[in-house]
Structure 1
Amino acid sequence: MRIYSHMARTAAATAMVVSLGTFSSVAFALDTDDFATKVAAIGSQGGTKMTFGAIETNGDTIVLKSVRLAPGGEPPVELGDVSFEGVEEEDDGAYSVELVKFPDVDVTNEGDHLSIVDIEIGGLYVPETMTYDTLDNILFYESMSTGPLKITHKGEEVFSMSGIELEVNRADDDSTVGLTLNGTGLRADIKHIDDPKPRQMLNDLGYETLTGDLALDVNWDVESGTVKLNEYGLTLNDVGKLAVQLEISGYTMEFIQAMQQAQAAAAANPDPEAAQQAMGFAMLGMLQQLTFKSASIRFDDASVTEKALAYAGKQQGISGEQMRQAVKGMMPLMLGQLGIPSLQQQISAAANIYLDNPGNLTVSAKPAAPVAVPAIMGAGMGDPRALVDLLNVQVTAND
């Protein structure tokens, strides 16, 4: 995304006057109504309508007052006054914005309170028209961040995070796009879990609170449409880390354009049922373009396994070590219900290795050649067991 800096100012008084005069004329030339209309077009996608009450301008800062998002069929969301700083109009009618600042979220509903502060978007690009045929029409910003997030219930903190940071890294030649997200300082209070059974179990395992972090890392090859989810991970301290990886192809600019057109058509249809049906058919057609390359789910232990064995053994009146051996002994019987001998053997072998020395468990699927997504859906509906061979499912431990 292109971000243009303001005209440089010199220390000399005369040059400063000229500079400020030029800056004022540029700011005055901004077509605020045009800018606001194009920003609303970005916010009004996928059946959502963005509106605002008024526009205020101060130099190269534009404030949209009383911004509201109205998702189709859902109650509207009041965003308040949104400030766009460092607005510059480009030669093609597009706009670049250095920084977008949102008002803090402060919502209370039936004793539950949500607060999010310091919500910002950096490097916003507002295209001249929404055509979805270039990266400029689908990548609207370079970064997004928030300050602390907090959820309370009847005055007591239930969940919190220190903040979220997201960055979009676009290659100079537009060949690839990378996206990373980090959510730090996650904290959840166990005593507020509604279901008493898991709440008691977690307490017995020694967890009064759960703390950790979130991470997301995605790469997209624009021409081939290959999307690699390198990591979607949740790390919980003294528990473990759950990480998901995925690779698909066919997510091209043409696919995105078709999806946006289908969503726009559904949003314009006055009959919700007919719109939903048409959207379903459109999505089935678009899925024909996607192919599955690989996926994996991995868990890295950080002491929860030993705690769970000790807890389960206590319930049976035996030690954690005795429970370990009991689980290993029962494994063949439990797995026999799958009716897939090759997979049963893999799971049993991996479980034995893991239980003897808890390290990590991985379930992966990597077919010899990419498989069309509709073929996977058909196999899943016909005979789910066929997916094991179709996707080359593997189960391993302590890799």
Structure 2
Amino acid sequence: MAAILVIVTSAQAEFDNGAFVKRFSEAFGKSVTVSHTGIAGNKDRLTLDDVRITGTPLSPDTSLGRVEFSGIQEQEHGAYSIKKIVLPQIVYIYEGNTIRVSGITLNDVTFPPNKGIYNQDTGFRYKTGQFKNLELFDNKKKRLGLLENGAIALHPSIRANPIDFVINIKKITVFVDNFPEGSTRQDFISMGYKNATGRLDIAGAYGGYLSMMDLKHFHLVLDKGGVLDVSLKMDGMTLDSLLTVVTLQRENEHGHIKSTQMWLGMLAQVQRYNFYGGKLRFEDHSLTGKLVATEAKRMGIDGNALKTKWKNSLPGWLAFAKDTNFEADAQKAITTYLDAPHSLTVSSTPMDRLPVIMLAISGKLSPKELVRELNLAIYANK
């Protein structure tokens, strides 16, 4: 019995808490500082108290609170696998706005090797995750949004392939009444969406050799409004690139860089992006009628008069179609839809992937060329 106890005690002592915490800290990148006030336990159950992440422009202040790891296993080349990570909450503050997530669980987590043949020193992966609530507050502490009962599933990539993902949010609430004063807030309230609710399902793939973003399924349901389905495929969109764009905008707003510097920096990032195609379909469940009534009231005209106006001149979001070979199709679809709102679909199926920067230039210089390159189609009630 004593011999068994010695073996067990020795096995527990062999696990290096400090090395594991160091690898955990490295998972957030080289430009951040990960701190904690205490560590306890072993590889079966290890806890870190008051975990905080500081240092990057995008994440200047993130609190993870008490983090609990269960079932830690050491792997080759400094990697670790963890059966489960539990975080009671995450508090993320950016520009005075706060995101608070509670009841988080991550299952089958991997911290990749930090040296050796894999050459990975940041990031971590997990197979499934759940959260109870995600809340968004503005800089005046007003709650703007609430996501409830979220679930995420990730399928790891093989070699350089993208990672498949599925996200389900059981309930979304947008607190429109807490929005800043303005036409958007007033319009949604007038349409009966003081607190707009719905649900969201997303599926697709990201990353890989081409830095792909393949949004295969975006299904947003607005209660008492309608259903929006979107698919979209692009490449070249790395996380570093997107963070750079956000940081450039932030630095410009704070007066740290000039607008010309911001636009040149953003141009350097966007030129990496390519567009493969996409599709948008809206199924109406009363939103169109509410939108027409609200806009007509603002303009001081009858709802039918507004419909006639849109039929003859196209709504603003289709203004680019004017004087192109797409205009007649758009006019026909809008007319059909406004006469009996059921569904409206717009799709783009280019012959080959298109550089986003060239699309932007075409849109500015030649709308006809833009329409041709995108190979647009629009149809109603199908």
1:90 matched residue in structure 2: 75
Higher mean displacement: 332-341 or 52-61: 332-341
Higher mean displacement: 86-95 or 346-355: 86-95
| Match of residue 129, structure 1, among 103, 109, 114 | 114
1:291–1:321 Cα change, 3 Å? closer
Matched, 1:99 2:84: yes
1:305 matched residue in structure 2: 288
- Give 1:144 deviation, angstroms: 2.4
Contact 1:125 1:136 in 2 (8 A): no
- Give 1:236 deviation, angstroms: 1.0
In 1, Cα distance between equivalents of 2:265 and 2:298: 51
Which structure has the larger Rg over C-alpha atoms? Answer: 1
1:231–1:76 Cα change, 3 Å? same
Paired AA for residue 19 in structure 2: D
The Cα offsets for residues 126-153 of structure 1, whole Å up to 9 and x where unpaired, read as 1231689579965522122211234579
Matched, 1:191 2:191: no
Higher mean displacement: 157-166 or 301-310: 157-166
- In the TM superposition, 1:314-329 aligns within 5 A as 314=297, 320-321=303-304, 323-329=306-312
- Give 1:96 deviation, angstroms: 0.6
Matched, 1:48 2:15: no
1:371 matched residue in structure 2: 354
- In the TM superposition, 1:276-287 aligns within 5 A as 284=268, 287=271
Higher mean displacement: 233-242 or 31-40: 233-242
1:259–1:41 Cα change, 3 Å? farther
Contact 1:135 1:174 in 2 (8 A): no
- In the TM superposition, 1:144-183 aligns within 5 A as 144-150=129-135, 158-170=144-156, 175=161, 177-183=163-169
Q: Give the 3-state SS of the residue equivalent to 1:117 in structure 2.
A: strand
Contact 2:62 2:91 in 1 (8 A): no
Contact 2:32 2:56 in 1 (8 A): yes
- Give 1:29 deviation, angstroms: 1.6
- Give 1:107 deviation, angstroms: 8.7
In 2, Cα distance between equivalents of 1:299 and 1:162: 24
- Give 1:229 deviation, angstroms: 1.0
Sequence identity (%): 22
1:141 matched residue in structure 2: 126
- Kindly report the root-mean-square deviation, in angstroms, between the aligned alpha carbons of the 2 structures: 4.4
The Cα offsets for residues 354-383 of structure 1, whole Å up to 9 and x where unpaired, read as 112212222322211222344334434554
Contact 1:294 1:367 in 2 (8 A): yes
Matched, 1:237 2:220: no
1:10 matched residue in structure 2: none
How many residues of Structure 1 are paired with residues of Structure 2 in the alignment? 367
| Match of residue 329, structure 2, among 341, 346, 349 | 346
Contact 2:321 2:330 in 1 (8 A): no
Q: Give the 3-state SS of the residue equivalent to 2:326 in structure 1.
A: helix
- Give 1:305 deviation, angstroms: 0.7
Q: Give the 3-state SS of the residue equivalent to 2:77 in structure 1.
A: coil
Matched, 1:31 2:13: no
2:196 matched residue in structure 1: 210
- Give 1:296 deviation, angstroms: 2.5
Per the normalisation by structure 2, the TM-score is 0.77
Higher mean displacement: 195-204 or 327-336: 327-336
Matched, 1:68 2:52: yes
Contact 2:62 2:92 in 1 (8 A): no
1:186–1:378 Cα change, 3 Å? same
In 2, Cα distance between equivalents of 1:57 and 1:222: 36
1:21–1:355 Cα change, 3 Å? farther
- Give 1:76 deviation, angstroms: 2.7
Contact 2:234 2:274 in 1 (8 A): yes
Structure 1 unpaired stretches of 5+: 1-13, 267-271
In 2, Cα distance between equivalents of 1:259 and 1:196: 32
1:358–1:375 Cα change, 3 Å? same
Q: Give the 3-state SS of the residue equivalent to 1:198 in structure 2.
A: helix
- Give 1:216 deviation, angstroms: 1.9
Per the normalisation by structure 1, the TM-score is 0.74
Higher mean displacement: 213-222 or 351-360: 213-222
| Match of residue 344, structure 2, among 349, 352, 361 | 361
The Cα offsets for residues 329-372 of structure 1, whole Å up to 9 and x where unpaired, read as 44499977864331222221110111122122223222112223
In 1, Cα distance between equivalents of 2:73 and 2:53: 25
Contact 2:142 2:178 in 1 (8 A): no
Paired AA for residue 61 in structure 2: P
Paired AA for residue 364 in structure 1: S
Matched, 1:57 2:74: no
In 1, Cα distance between equivalents of 2:316 and 2:108: 57
Higher mean displacement: 187-196 or 237-246: 187-196
2:253 matched residue in structure 1: none
